[in-house]
Each structure stands twice: as structure tokens, then as C-alpha cells.
Chain A
Amino acid sequence: RKEVEQDPGPFNVPEGATVAFNCTYSNSASQSFFWYRQDCRKEPKLLMSVYSSGNEDGRFTAQLNRASQYISLLIRDSKLSDSATYLCVVNRGYQKVTFGIGTKLQVIP
């Protein structure tokens, strides 16, 4: 079983839609969690850190469920500019940073 699992998609959604991605992780010792956004042929960039209490940044909401070992990302009112690959990242420190393969989102006009 992979340490971090994501549905690679693609998720094709119309503009204005709400879309949710989940990511599961297998190691309960994982300590910090992030969502990164990666545009085609570019470097990943931090979208949000993820906390058990949940956190929101504009149209984006991230949530961590430690009991079930998954993290989620919700995007409301999707924009064309949201089209990208979203990487789930789980961190146990130094060499123990594991990236999911990413979920591709395509927002359609």
C-alpha cells in the first residue's frame, strides 16, 4: 500500500462548481500535512497547510481527519484558473516527506 494515496483524476468540472479531493495516508506517525498546487511543467507551490481544526482560505477549505487518516480539499465556485494538479503532502520530518501523485483538476467554461 502506498504511504499517500490520491485519485489521479482527471476531475472535469464546470466553472462555478464545488469540487472535493481526498487523500489518505498510511503512517499514523505523520505530523504535518499540506496541499500543494502544481501547474503543468512548473514547480509545486504551497496552497494550504492542513489542521485538524480545519482551515479556510477564500474559496478553499482543507480538513484533516487523524482518526481515519485522510485529508481533504474543497474548492468552491471553481474558476478556470484553478485548473492544475493538486498534490497531497504528508510530513514526518526530513526525509519522511511523502507526496501523493496528484489529482488533476480541469475547470471547463
Chain B
Amino acid sequence: DGGITQSPKYLFRKEGQNVTLSCEQNLNHDAMYWYRQDPGQGLRLIYYSQIVNDFQKGDIAEGYSVSREKKESFPLTVTSAQKNPTAFYLCASSTGQGALGELFFGEGSRLTVL
């Protein structure tokens, strides 16, 4: 079955540590995204990538980094510079011209900073 796989599902981190969230898709989509969701707020875009070896900052990129070395993979690193990293992180991909098609989401990674 095609889809998006995120791991880990739950992650606990001590302050000052970097963590990397994995996102893999086998949908053959060019565009991939990372969103963050906090209670009472809509999804906010962290980074997106239109094609391999290219990515752009979203609305809240500070304290995060990404890479896109393969079409299937778009890992997100939450660095120690991110002031409030506890959140639900969602990876998505899309297709369609100009990426105007629907977004397909992974199951999410819930990060808690202790």
C-alpha cells in the first residue's frame, strides 16, 4: 500500500538535545512538507520541498532543519535552538501541478521535551 510513514510515533527529548524525525513516502510525490500542530492552532508550515535537493522555509522554520537527498525521504531535525519544541509534527506530500492537489499525511510524531 502506498503512503507516508513517520517515525518515531512518540519521542521524548531532554532540553538541549537535537532530534530527527523520519518521513518516508512511496507515493512518488514530488512535493513534501513538514507541519507542526499545537492545541487550538491550525497546522503551521515548517519547511517544504518541491523536488530533490531543494527545500524552502515555511512560516516557522527557526530552530528546525531538513534535507531532501532522495525523493522518498524528507527528515526533519528539531534543534536545541527551537524554543518550544513540544508539539505534534506532521509530514505530508502532494502531487498535481503546482502542488494544488490534496495533501496526504503521515500518522504524525508527537515530541515531548522534558
Question: Residues of A with Cβ closer than 8 Å to B?
Answer: 4, 8, 31-32, 34, 41-46, 49, 87, 89, 91, 93-95, 97-102
Query: Do residues B56 and A95 form an inter-chain contact, with CB atoms below 8 A?
Result: yes
With A43-B90, A94-B31: A32-B100 Cβ-Cβ less than 8 Å: yes
Q: What's the nearest-Cβ distance from chain A to residue B110, in Å?
A: 8
A41 to B102, CA, bound (A): 21
Q: A42: which B residues are within 8 A, CB to CB?
A: 107-108
Which chain B residues lie closer than 8 Å to A99 at the CB level? 35, 42-43
B50 touches which of A41, A91, A94, A97 (Cβ 8 Å) = A94
How many contacts A-B (CB < 8 Å)?
57
Which range contains the number of B residues in contact with the other chain? 20 to 34
How far apart are the CA atoms of A44 and B103 in the complex, in Å?
9
Q: Which residue of B lies closest to A46 (CB)?
A: B102
Pick from B42, B98, B103, B106: contact of A102, CB below 8 A.
Answer: B42
A43 with B105: in contact, given A4-B42, A94-B48 (CB under 8 Å)? yes
- B19: Cβ under 8 A from any A Cβ: no
Known contacts A43-B105, A43-B106, A43-B108, A93 near B42 by CB under 8 Å: no
B58 within 8 A of partner (CB) = yes
User: CA of A87 to CA of B35 in the docked complex: distance in angstroms?
Assistant: 14
The closest CB in chain B to the CB of A101 belongs to B42
Chain A residues, CB < 8 A from B102: 34, 46, 49
